[in-house]
Structure 1
Amino acid sequence: MDDMNESPDGGPGLRRACDQCRLRKIRCNKESPCSNCRTANRQCSSTGVGQKPKEPRQRVLISSQYERKIDHFESRLGGIESLLRDLTTSISHGHHSQGADRSMSYNSSSYGDIRDTPAMGGGADLSSTVFSGQDDDDPTPEFEGNSSLAAQTAMASQLVENAVTQSALGVTNPNMQSALLSLKQIVQMQTSQHTKEIRFPNARPMPRGGIRELPMPPMSLVIGLLREIKDTPPLTFTLIAAFITIEEFTENCRKVYFATEDYSLATFILVNAGLTYLFMEKAMAATDTRSAELLKYHYTCRDNLETALSNLPLLMPARMETIKALLLGASYAVEIAKLTLAWHLNTSAALMCQALGYHRLPVNFTDSPSPSSSSTPSTNNAPSTTTDAINDTKSGLFWFTYMLDKGLSLRFGRSSVIQDYDITLPKAISPQMNLSDPWKVVLNLWILQAELTGKVYEHLYSPSALSKPLETRVIAARQLAEDIKVLARESELLNKRVKEEEERTNQDKNHNPSFYTMDVVLKSDEVWYWSSLALVYRTIPANNDLGISSNGYSLNMECLDAARNAIVTHHESMKLTEGSRFTQAAYLHWTLIYAPFAPFIVLFCNVIETSDLEDLRRMSEFVDSLAPVCSISEAIDKLHRVCQVLYNVAQLYVEAKSQQLQDQDMTMVNNDFDMYLSQLGFISGVPHDSNGGGDSANGFGNNNNNNNNNLVGNWFSGNRTILGLVEADLSEFEPRGWASGAT
């Protein structure tokens, strides 16, 4: 019975209790034979009958997947720690919120009666802040336009679970498997809007003493900076803060640095926003040693700005200063690609502008603002001049708000806050505004761009537009395309005049920062023109004016040409700004993320449909152009990751499509790709017809009009989904591990 001393798997090991003792439930000494069996003169055997067999242990695989999960857990724990710190701080200031239960109406009649609460003491009476960072419960998903994709997502999530394992190729080709899994994640993120990080990343808890205890740059440094900008106005007050004069900014700095009385949170925001941009502008032109010091104070003011914006009260007084603070905050939010925050801030500014009547003609307005025709009866010229200056500021504030409102409206697929039929102001910056003539022309072009942007959404992509007959939308698209071309020609004329001025003054962009900035702005505008044309032409079906092509997703050549020209112009912009990564980041934030950059998705859809290798190359070059800026912009890094996924998906899709006739597994994988892409609105959800052509290929029968409208709406929603991922939590979305291995 020596074999009983071996373990069941054949090796030496501990002997089990014998079968007889186990059956009688008595103690066994586990000898061979055991004492009980010897006493009873029974045969002692230990076969393990009735016992659960020992299961082999599995090896623990420490792969990149587990490392990502561990990193994700660490990130979540860090977030919990931050929440606890914020909670502790908020509890310690709880006594400041006793007045929060007061009943206050939020309408135009009482809007201006809310008094501004100074923020020196560490909290406003209306302590419910706009951007508190996190909530205890998962927030309700935000609405981003009407889309038929949401109804399909539940079915898609059930189908995608088994998609990768349906074919042997998913096992033998890990890149194909990863591509399908990445598409699955994007589809799931489409309705998971609560994953957006609706917070300012560098905001700090408010000190007990309020904003007065936040660190500021040295007074001597700021005074020197103010003296410099008085002699040489910086570009900051030409573009971002054109509605704020240098004298006004200097006075606000005096209020903060020489605080003889309490100052408002809006004043603190104006000062830190201005200093944030000024220190960055000076750092870009300084030597390495000086630049490091200026960047240090830039980050100090940036943190102060984000902290102050995060502590804005829910209800604020409708005052000019408040509107300026909100506008600077919204512009800054676009700069850091926090577009949801920009929407909230700019919406508040728009409501205040309307409540104060900034969108209407002032009573003393004349149609001829030139000096020769402005001789209106007046007994006192000084008050008239002051009134004119105030009216110019009001109109400037309104038009900056209008521009952001229309751009964000199209970006999010929502109706704008400001409606064109409610405006009586002339669509132009006041000639008396303290700007050089070329910049006035640029701002006037931007106002017209914003107007066209609003019309693109209203007449082509809004639910109302998508319910109209196809003929109506095609006519509207043609008209909008012509209007965009008119603006593009005006921009070309301005660019020509600027070049002539450079030659006349014998200065180039390397010696005159204003010329360089103008070149960057005009080149960015050119990208906008081509991108907008691609978005407009996307709504016009291919092959004929009113019908649709074989599968409803074919792109007309005008759309493809506009998209390709946009990519070319984008590369020119990146080359123009290659001397400064910060300038490149600003260009990318305003031109690719703030404006819905459609050309990349247009090329992606064309590659999926036609396997165009040249467009595939263009996609690759576009992805590569984003890589150098990823290190300084989290949003660009996310956009780069998503575009890298789409490029590799297109590359692998072309591979699967070229082999599907010879390989049944490839046909199955191709169908898997089609399922995900249809959920994103990039291709038709109708299965491929292997015979090609005929009515079965388009799958629309006699309902071409309605189906084309649905396809365009779905495509627009899918494009917004891709761009919206720059604000999403992508901690579990990491395609770099497989992207380099795509073949």
Structure 2
Amino acid sequence: MKMPQMMAPRRRLSRPQLINKSLFAEHATLVEQENERKIDQIDRRLETVIRLLHDMKVNPSAGTTSSDRSGGMMGTPPTEGMSLFSQDGPPTSTNTPSSHALQADEESSAVVEGESSLAAHSVFATEFLQKVVSTKSLQDSSLDLGETLEALSQIVTALKQQPVAGEMTYPHAKPVQRQRIQGLELPPIQKAVNTIRVAKSQRLSGMAWIYDFLPTRRFPDLCLNVYFSENHSEYDFITVNGGLYSLFTDYAAQISPEDKKEYQEYARMCRTNLETSLSNLPLHLPASADVIVALLFGTFHAVEISKPSLAWTLASKASELCQTLGYHRVECLKNTKDDGKPRVRGMHWHQFLFWNVYYIDKSLSLRLGRASTIPDWHITMPEPSLEDPLEDPLLPYYVLWIHTAKCQGKIYEMLYSPDSMAQPYHVRQTRVHELVSMLHDVETRTQEANAKWGGRAREMVEGAFVDFCLISDSVLRLSMLTMVYRAAPRAEGSPTTFSPECIKAARAALEKHQECVSVMRKSHDVYFATYIHWTIMFAPFIPFIVLFCQVIETQDQQDLARLHGFILFLQEANTLSDAAHKMHRLFQVLYSVALRFVEFRTSTPQAQQTQASAEMDAYLAALGFPAKGGNGGNQQVQQQPQHQQHQHQMDFSQNATQASQMAGGTVMSGMGGDTMDEGLMKPGNPMMWMTNAAQLEDFLYSNQAMMDLLQEPNFESAQHP
């Protein structure tokens, strides 16, 4: 800008210029007044916002309109003492308790949202604005945004920390009292207290895991509250009955036959209470750690009665609540670092709950063939640390269970999910190698952990229980290893359907199973039911299926003997659950077919085997195993005269029907085909197309049919083979 000269003469303004200058001054004055008015208005609005934010902090429901309040809005779940159940019966009545009685500290929990949420983006915008305002150029200016930034920060905080109590309810729902369930009885309190005392002194296995899930409250105190108080929640009712059921069952196995019947009856009472309460849970559950504990107890029980789909329903809800409360994120540890919560096996309680939910979720994912509800890429919560010094020598075993569950989830995701089935040969082969390496790593770490902490672990719980867990876990991992190898693409020119590694793993699994049986016999089969439901039926027991196919292909007598030994063992599990009975019946039929096939191949002259093979193929087909050879078999049939083809088809259908009846009459319905030919020639299972090998395709399709059979409610034997 050019500076004016010092001695320049003053220039006189004309009339128009004077008028314009006057108008400009007047306009400037008006603009200044308008700006002041707007600033005052902004100040008043900011004060209002700040006041509202303060009210929201003090009373989260303050924003509710009077019309909503007068209309009976249920803004928050009722707290303890505000029961949704009718209060019929005395304090010691056996009715189920309040549905939504919650602890106060849980009601203040906030809904945790991910980085894609509006709240997360708002946090970024606020931090960005704070950085801009903090620059020197703006700090020196007259622009004062201090109160504005503070108000904005409070708004974002309120948006990010929305209380669970208000977020998980319907604003216009009318409160409706849920009626108590009548007719439920609890065992005598004296018997419950005595069993708890014995369990603690004798270190019964059930006592250890119950106390793990109740670090904030002693189990005896929780029992007394359920027995004598009306204000306990139905989730405490579930937890107490689940715990007592486990303790009564464990104790009944330790006492004399005279007293066994009495305590078994107490266990049945608690089981009835547990299952009745679980079956009557509402769809909407409060986001609370106590609710997650109750759901986990229900999930464990569902596994122990071989109801994997029911277990999945409960575990999925527990997973949802964990993610709502942010238990899957590392921020949960930062926010609760000094909250006074006790630690469980060296972990924060919320961390412990999350990894238990993770364990059951991943395991059931493989068992049911469903996508996990907790993707690994969604988790930032750290796994328990094994660095010395360890607070608990049992922690390494717990961590290894988590790693095993992670492998189970990966097996389904990488090898058996619909997307993985469409992957090319080299991708699937790479994934097989990766999963085999993971399983071998878990096995190595298990041996190292047992060598280092096994002695101390046996001081805390029964030594026989530790031995049983180690060997049964090994059976489970070998079964998983077989499943991994089974999914490997078939090598070109291989004489058998499955690779030598797959056959070797299947044989090792059945041999390790026999070792586990020997360990259980030493403990008088105390862990028999646990082994059936948490090992044999916890993941698809593929080794038996693989060796069955191997026997059909090779007539191996030793493998046939392995199948027979496993059948004899399963016969003892017939009465444990419907699923165990169905599994035994299915495997019994398969073994009978394999036995007859081997006898036929070894005793029938080669010249007479062609006609007899049709009958054997009929049995296999009725069980879900299409005839070996695929189209090759069709070509052979086409070369026969027309009348022979017709006769073979009649014999085939007749024999298949007989085999179907032998297996309980539901085999063909399990295959899902309208006719036998359609079922054999047009399988709809995408798992077939893993390779071009007809034998493996046949097995994969048949395996799905076998699994369908186990779900049939009327899968019973019409006659013994």
Conserved 8 A contact 2:573-2:580: yes
CA distance in 1, matches of 2:627, 2:404: 27
Residue 357 of structure 1 pairs with residue 330 of structure 2: no
Residue 270 of structure 1 pairs with residue 239 of structure 2: yes
- In the alignment, which residue of structure 2 is the partner of 1:628? 572
Conserved 8 A contact 1:396-1:430: no
- Please give the per-residue CA displacement for 1:170-209, whole angstroms capped at 9, x wherever unaligned: xxxxxxxxxxxxxxxxxxxxxxxxxxxxxxxxxxxxxx97
- In the alignment, which residue of structure 1 is the partner of 2:590? 646
The residue matched to 1:529 in structure 2 has which SS?
A: helix
The residue matched to 2:527 in structure 1 has which SS?
A: helix
Deviation of the 1:603 alpha carbon: 0.4
Conserved 8 A contact 2:358-2:374: yes
Deviation of the 1:297 alpha carbon: 0.7
For residue 637 of structure 1, the aligned residue among 581, 602, 606 is 581
Residue 424 of structure 1 pairs with residue 380 of structure 2: yes
Residue 407 of structure 1 pairs with residue 363 of structure 2: yes
1:314-463 matches, cutoff 5 A: 314-362=283-331, 365=334, 383-386=338-341, 392-428=348-384, 437-463=392-418
Q: Provide the alpha-carbon RMSD of the alignment.
A: 3.7
- In the alignment, which residue of structure 1 is the partner of 2:612? 666
Deviation of the 1:496 alpha carbon: 3.3
Deviation of the 1:312 alpha carbon: 1.3
- In the alignment, which residue of structure 2 is the partner of 1:536? 484
Deviation of the 1:724 alpha carbon: 5.3
- In the alignment, which residue of structure 1 is the partner of 2:530? 586
The two structures have a TM-score, normalised by structure 1, of 0.62
Shift in CA distance, 710/533, structure 1 to aligned 2, threshold 3 Å:
same
Conserved 8 A contact 1:407-1:594: yes
**5+ residue gaps, structure 1:** 1-110, 128-207, 370-375, 377-382, 692-698
Deviation of the 1:330 alpha carbon: 0.7
| Amino acid across the alignment from 1:670 | M
| Amino acid across the alignment from 2:720 | W
- In the alignment, which residue of structure 2 is the partner of 1:675? 621
The structure with the largest helix share of the pair is 2
Conserved 8 A contact 1:470-1:709: no
Deviation of the 1:676 alpha carbon: 3.9
Deviation of the 1:712 alpha carbon: 6.0
CA distance in 2, matches of 1:112, 1:446: 41
For residue 244 of structure 1, the aligned residue among 193, 203, 214 is 214
Conserved 8 A contact 1:269-1:325: yes
The two structures have a TM-score, normalised by structure 2, of 0.63
For residue 256 of structure 2, the aligned residue among 287, 294, 306 is 287
CA distance in 2, matches of 1:523, 1:492: 11
CA distance in 2, matches of 1:517, 1:265: 32
Deviation of the 1:655 alpha carbon: 3.9
- In the alignment, which residue of structure 1 is the partner of 2:691? 707
- In the alignment, which residue of structure 2 is the partner of 1:558? 501
Shift in CA distance, 564/436, structure 1 to aligned 2, threshold 3 Å:
farther
| Amino acid across the alignment from 2:616 | N
CA distance in 2, matches of 1:521, 1:221: 29
For residue 519 of structure 1, the aligned residue among 444, 467, 491 is 467
CA distance in 2, matches of 1:112, 1:458: 41
| Amino acid across the alignment from 2:221 | E
Shift in CA distance, 387/302, structure 1 to aligned 2, threshold 3 Å:
closer
Shift in CA distance, 532/450, structure 1 to aligned 2, threshold 3 Å:
same
1:72-221 matches, cutoff 5 A: 118-119=84-85, 210-211=180-181, 213-221=183-191
Conserved 8 A contact 2:330-2:380: yes
- In the alignment, which residue of structure 1 is the partner of 2:510? 567
For residue 544 of structure 2, the aligned residue among 600, 609, 617 is 600
- Please give the per-residue CA displacement for 1:604-636, whole angstroms capped at 9, x wherever unaligned: 111122222221111111101112232344332
CA distance in 1, matches of 2:236, 2:525: 30
Q: When the two structures are aligned, how many residues end up with a matched partner?
A: 508
- Deviates most, 512-521 or 233-242: 233-242
Deviation of the 1:231 alpha carbon: 5.5
Shift in CA distance, 238/570, structure 1 to aligned 2, threshold 3 Å:
same
- In the alignment, which residue of structure 2 is the partner of 1:491? 446
Deviation of the 1:210 alpha carbon: 2.5
CA distance in 1, matches of 2:78, 2:700: 43
Shift in CA distance, 439/352, structure 1 to aligned 2, threshold 3 Å:
same
CA distance in 2, matches of 1:629, 1:541: 35
- In the alignment, which residue of structure 1 is the partner of 2:494? 549
Shift in CA distance, 217/548, structure 1 to aligned 2, threshold 3 Å:
farther
Shift in CA distance, 214/610, structure 1 to aligned 2, threshold 3 Å:
same
- Please give the per-residue CA displacement for 1:584-619, whole angstroms capped at 9, x wherever unaligned: 121111111111111001101111222222211111
Shift in CA distance, 279/655, structure 1 to aligned 2, threshold 3 Å:
same
| Amino acid across the alignment from 2:272 | D
* Structure with the larger RCO, 1 or 2 (CA within 8 Å, 6+ apart): 1
CA distance in 2, matches of 1:333, 1:350: 16
- Please give the per-residue CA displacement for 1:296-331, whole angstroms capped at 9, x wherever unaligned: 211111111111111111222221111111111010
**5+ residue gaps, structure 2:** 1-73, 88-94, 101-177, 637-680, 682-687
Deviation of the 1:295 alpha carbon: 1.4
CA distance in 1, matches of 2:713, 2:598: 29
Conserved 8 A contact 1:359-1:423: yes
CA distance in 1, matches of 2:697, 2:331: 40
| Amino acid across the alignment from 2:516 | S
| Amino acid across the alignment from 2:326 | G
Conserved 8 A contact 2:200-2:207: no
Conserved 8 A contact 1:323-1:349: yes
Deviation of the 1:484 alpha carbon: 0.4
The residue matched to 1:738 in structure 2 has which SS?
A: coil
Conserved 8 A contact 2:203-2:462: no
Conserved 8 A contact 1:681-1:714: yes
| Amino acid across the alignment from 2:546 | V
CA distance in 2, matches of 1:470, 1:271: 51
Shift in CA distance, 230/426, structure 1 to aligned 2, threshold 3 Å:
same
Shift in CA distance, 680/665, structure 1 to aligned 2, threshold 3 Å:
closer
Shift in CA distance, 431/354, structure 1 to aligned 2, threshold 3 Å:
farther
| Amino acid across the alignment from 1:558 | E
Deviation of the 1:490 alpha carbon: 1.5
Shift in CA distance, 727/316, structure 1 to aligned 2, threshold 3 Å:
same
| Amino acid across the alignment from 1:449 | T
Shift in CA distance, 209/471, structure 1 to aligned 2, threshold 3 Å:
closer
Deviation of the 1:525 alpha carbon: 0.8
- Please give the per-residue CA displacement for 1:674-715, whole angstroms capped at 9, x wherever unaligned: 5346x4579664444999xxxxxxx9xxxx986349976774
Residue 481 of structure 1 pairs with residue 450 of structure 2: no
Shift in CA distance, 338/239, structure 1 to aligned 2, threshold 3 Å:
same
Conserved 8 A contact 1:466-1:710: no
Deviation of the 1:114 alpha carbon: 5.3
Deviation of the 1:239 alpha carbon: 4.0
Conserved 8 A contact 2:96-2:234: no
**Identity between Structure 1 and Structure 2 (%):** 33
For residue 224 of structure 1, the aligned residue among 170, 194, 198 is 194
Larger Rg: 2
Conserved 8 A contact 1:119-1:211: no
Residue 734 of structure 1 pairs with residue 678 of structure 2: no
| Amino acid across the alignment from 2:556 | D
- Please give the per-residue CA displacement for 1:103-161, whole angstroms capped at 9, x wherever unaligned: xxxxxxxx99655864565789999xxxxxxxxxxxxxxxxxxxxxxxxxxxxxxxxxx
For residue 422 of structure 2, the aligned residue among 431, 444, 467 is 467
